[in-house]
Amino acid sequence: DIQMTQSPSTLSASVGDRVTITCRASQSISSWLAWYQQKPGKAPKLLISKASSLESGVPSRFSGSGSGTEFTLTITSLQPDDFATYYCQHYSTYPFSFGQGTKLEIK
């Protein structure tokens, strides 16, 4: 089974900052990776698919990159609404799996 590892687990930043979250797969998953944002008590929201394809309606300050085993989610110019937990998920082969999450906190 493919394991997904995110870093860091927690990230403190300020409004206006640029932040990067990393997700590593235990084996190559090509570009079969999605990123989700989750706020407390809410369902996850899809941000990015196929490693770098921004979903409709998602602000352009979000971007994804990578392929193979290493991926990044970058948020430029953080906004107050961006403070949440972020998860990567591979969908290369079953069973799918998520990273453990990165909590983005206000500094």
Partner 1 sequence: QVQLVESGGGVVQPGRSLRLSCAASGFTFSNYAMHWVRQAPGKGLEWVAVISYDGDNKYFADSVKGRFTISRDNSKNTLYLQMSSLRAEDTAVYYCAKEVPPGGYSDYWGQGTLVTVSS
For partner 1, the binding residues (CB under 8 A) are 1, 32, 34, 36, 38, 42-46, 49, 55, 87, 89, 91-92, 94-101
Rg for the chain, CA atoms, rounded: 13
The span from the CA of 100 to the CA of 107, in Å, is 21
Give the residue among 61, 62, 38 at the shortest CA–CA distance from 48. Answer: 62
Q: Is 85:104 a contact under the CB 8 Å cutoff?
A: yes
Nearer to partner 1, 52 or 92 (CB): 92
Smallest separation, CB 60 to partner 1 (Å): 19
Nearer to partner 1, 80 or 95 (CB): 95
Smallest separation, CB 98 to partner 1 (Å): 4
Tell me 107's DSSP state.
-
Smallest separation, CB 12 to partner 1 (Å): 19
Nearer to partner 1, 51 or 75 (CB): 51
Nearer to partner 1, 10 or 77 (CB): 10
Peptide bond between residue 44 and the one before it cis (omega within 30 degrees of 0): no
